Structure formats: C-alpha cells, structure tokens
Amino acid sequence: MVTDTALITGASGGIGLELARLHAAKRGDVVLVARSRDKLESIKQELQTRYGVKVYVIVEDLADPGAADRVFAATEALGLSIDVLINNAGFGGHGKFVERDIAADLAMMQVNMAALTALTHHYLKAMVLRRRGRILNVSSTASFIPGPLQAVYYATKAFVTSFTQAIAEETREYGVTATALCPGAVATGFVAAGDLQGVDAWNNARTAQSVAQCGYQAMERGELVAFNEGKLRVMLDWIVPLLPRKLVLRMSRKAMEKAS
C-alpha cells in the first residue's frame, strides 16, 4: 500500500488528473499544482472523499520563471516530504516557427523544460539524501524526432527524454528512479490549447486514463522510458533511425499537417 506523497504538476485535468487519481487510489497523499484554483479544489474534494488521503493545493503558473521556486517553498512551509515527483505540466503549439508568437514559444520552453528542471533539482536533493524516491516526467514520442510545424514543442520534449535518462543514471546508486513517459496522441485539452484540431495524428488518440496507467506502472517498475503504444515504440526505436533524415522530416511534417 502506497503511503508516499506525490507532487503532480498540470494536475487540473488530462493525464495529470488521472495520475493524481491513481496515486490517491493507492492511499498516497497528493500535492496538486496548476493554474486553476477552482478545478484543483474540486479535485481535492473528490480525492479526499473517495480515498481518504491528504490533498494539498498549490496554485501557480509554471510559465512564470519564479513559479517552481515558489512551489518548492510552499511544500517546505507545509513540512512535506515529496517522495514522488510527477512533472506533467506542458503545452504545445501548431504552426511554422517563423509565423508563431515568440512569446508563446518561450513560455512553452519555460513550462516544458525550465520549470521541470528546477522542480527536479529542488526535490531530487532530498530523495538522494533519503536514498529513495521516484520521478516521472511526462514527455512524448515527439521527443525522438524533429517536428516541423511544432518545432519548439518537439525540441522541448527531446530535452525532457534526454534529461530524464541522464539523471536516472546519475541517481541509480542512491535508489532513486526517473522515468520518461512518451505517449503518442492523447485525448486531452492539449489539442485545443495547442491549436491541433484537424491534425490526423489525433484521430485515434488514446485516453488520458490509459496513458496515466502506463506511466504510473512504468514509474513503479523504475523503467527509463515508457511508451503507451507498442507500434510507436518499434517505429521510433528500430525503423526511424535507419531512414534518411530528410525523409523523416517530411514524414514528421505530414503527420502534423492539418486536414484541408
């Protein structure tokens, strides 16, 4: 029976919400981090009522460069020991890089990379000292190839997958694990937020619950990288690396083009 406390970013919906439910179902306490207080308070009530666990709410926008530090300060003030860190918050954006709002892409980099890195640094220190802890970073299959029409998003996820594996190796001797969850298309608010309506890749999107289940179980097993779709794993691990780079780029772009 889990009694660990998990901190989950992007916990107000989608994969983050489902991960919070999974952890609470194992009787683990939860720290919910997101921008919407109303949504978080509603989820807090649900989890406390259904599972009898302690739930804490921290309202922060991780696009703010100081938000990660404030999240850490808040958990320190509460006297919480974070045993499981789940960096789920992230967003994308569609369109040619030169035509996109650079402020939006810089905010994306702040949330997807900088905030994730800062939170990991804050909480990893105590995990190493305790010689136990788990980190789950929600990345994407997008992290394995460049992404024309989502250039910055794909690049941020490449960072997440690489960074996660590196710290997993660095902390292995201390009993701490780090897992990169790399799902394909997922049916969440990510589609609308990233202006991805009409992109064929989302026609067969998996549910957030199924992706969360895959990631949570992989984290429990201490896996380095978790895919929720076997076909995508075979494609990215064994086929794409053998293809000409320009062909991969054309295939990647076609997958992100909107239906006319």
Question: What positions carry a catalytic annotation?
Answer: 153
Which residues are registered as beta bridge partners of 13?
Answer: none
**180: its two tokens:** 């990169």
Q: Tokens for 151?
A: 């250039």
For residue 7, the surrounding DSSP H or E stretch is: strand 5-9
Question: What DSSP string runs through 130-158?
Answer: HT-EEEEEE--GGGGS--TTSHHHHHHHH
Structure tokens that stand for 32 in this block: 């919910």
Long-range contacts of 37-41 (CB under 8 A, 24+ apart): 39/12, 39/13, 40/11, 40/12
3-state secondary structure 185-239: CEECCHHHHCCCCCEHHHCCCEEHHHHHHHHHHHHHHCCCEECCCHHHHHHHHHH
Burial tier of 186 (Cβ tally within 10 Å: 0-12, 13-18, 19+): buried
